[in-house]
Amino acid sequence: MKTKKQSLAVLLSAGIVATSISLPTSSYAATSNNVLSTEKYNEAIKSPEFISGQLTTPSSTKTEDVVFRYVDENKDKYKLGTKSAKESFTVKKQEDDTLGAKVIRLQQTYNGVPVWGSTQVAHVDNKGVLTVFSGTVIPDLDQKLQQPNQKISANEAVSLAEKELGFKPNYTVEPTSELVVYAKDDTVSYAYHVHLGFLSPQPGSHDYFVEAETGKILDHIEVLHAAKNPRNITGTVTTGTGKDSFGNTRSLNLLKSNNTYYLVDKTRGQGIYTYDAQNKGSEDDTSVLPGVLFNNSTNSFISKNAQAAVDAHTYAGKVYDYYKTVHGRDSYDGNGTKIVSTVHFGQQYENAFWDPELKQMVYGDGDGSTRSFTAAIDAVGHELTHAVTDSSSNLIYQNESGALNEAMSDVFGTLVEYYNNSNPDYLIGEDLFFQSGQALRSMSDPTKYGDPDHYSKRYTGTNQSQLVHTNSGIINKAAYLIAEGGTHYGVTVNGIGKDKMGKIFYRANTQYLTESATFSQARQAFVQSAADLYGTQSAEVTSVNKAFDAVGVK
Q: Quick one: DSSP state of residue 455?
A: G
pLDDT tier, 228 (very low <50, low <70, confident <90, very high otherwise): very low
**Band of the pLDDT at 409, cuts 50, 70, 90?**
very high
Rounded to a whole number of angstroms, the distance between the first and last alpha carbons of the chain is 35
pLDDT at 20: 32
Could you tell me the CA-to-CA distances from 240 to 27, 297, 315 in Å, in that order? 57, 12, 15
With 70 as the cut, is the pLDDT of residue 457 above it?
Answer: yes
Tell me the C-alpha distance between 347 and 489, whole Å: 45
Share of the chain above pLDDT 70, in %: 90
Same fold, 4-19+397-550 and 154-223: no
Instruction: Identify whether the C-beta of residue 544 lies closer than 8 Å to the C-beta of residue 512.
Output: no
- 144-153, 344-353, 504-513: which has the minimum mean pLDDT? 144-153
What DSSP assignment string belongs to 282-314? STT-S--SS-EEPEESSSEE-SGGGHHHHHHHH
Active site residues: 383, 469
CA pair distance 196, 205, nearest whole angstrom: 6
pLDDT beyond 50 at 502: yes
| C-alpha 416 chain-centroid distance | 16
Residue 529 has pLDDT above 60, yes or no: yes
The sign of the CA dihedral 402, 405, 409, 410 is positive
pLDDT in tens, 458-488: 999 988 888 999 999 999 999 999 999 999 9
* Per-residue CA distances from 513 to 52, 151, 521 (Å): 13, 36, 8
Closest C-alpha to 279, from 227, 202, 343: 343
Q: How far apart are CA 240 and CA 58, in angstroms?
A: 57
Angstrom CA distances, 6 to 201, 349, 449, stand at 20, 14, 11
Who wins on pLDDT, 423 or 16? 423
- Average model confidence (pLDDT) across the chain: 89
pLDDT at 286: 39
The architecture CATH gives domain 154-223: Roll (3.10)
User: Hey, what CATH class is 236-388 in?
Assistant: alpha beta
Collapsed DSSP state (helix, strand, coil) of residue 372:
coil
Say how far apart CA 167 and CA 383 lie, in whole Å. Answer: 29
Contact 272, 316 (CB under 8 A): yes
437 pLDDT tier (thresholds 50, 70, 90): confident
Q: Is 185 helix (H, G, I), strand (E, B) or coil?
A: coil
What are the b/e assignments for 172-194, b being 16+ CB within 10 Å?
Answer: bbebebebbbbbbeeebbbbbbb
For residue 35, what pLDDT is reported? 84
Q: What is the pTM of this model?
A: 0.87
Distance CA 344, CA 175 (A): 27
pLDDT digits (tens, 9 = 90+) for 328-361: 999 999 999 999 999 999 888 888 888 877 889 9
pLDDT the model gives residue 126: 93
pLDDT value at 110 more than 90: yes
Judged by DSSP in three states, 105 sits in: strand
The model's confidence at residue 368, banded by pLDDT at 50, 70 and 90, is: confident
Average pLDDT rounded to a whole number, residues 298-309: 97
Q: Where are the domains of the chain?
A: 4-19+397-550, 29-144, 154-223, 236-388
Taking the CA atoms of residue 246, residue 379, residue 202 and residue 371 in that order, the dihedral angle to the nearest 10 degrees is -20
Q: Check residues 24 and 282 and name the one with the higher pLDDT.
A: 282
Q: Which residue has better confidence, 25 or 138?
A: 138
pLDDT digits (tens, 9 = 90+) for 168-224: 787 777 899 999 999 987 789 999 999 887 766 666 778 899 999 999 999 988 775
Rounded Cα–Cα distance for residues 399 and 449 (Å):
20
Q: Please tell me the distance from the alpha carbon of residue 98 to that of residue 102, in angstroms, as a whole number.
A: 9
User: What percent of the chain is helix, strand and coil (3-state, nearest 5)?
Assistant: 30, 25, 40
CATH of span 4-19+397-550 = 1.10.390.10
CA nearest 361: which of 345, 348, 349?
345
pLDDT at 147: 72
Q: What is the largest CA-CA distance in the chain?
A: 69
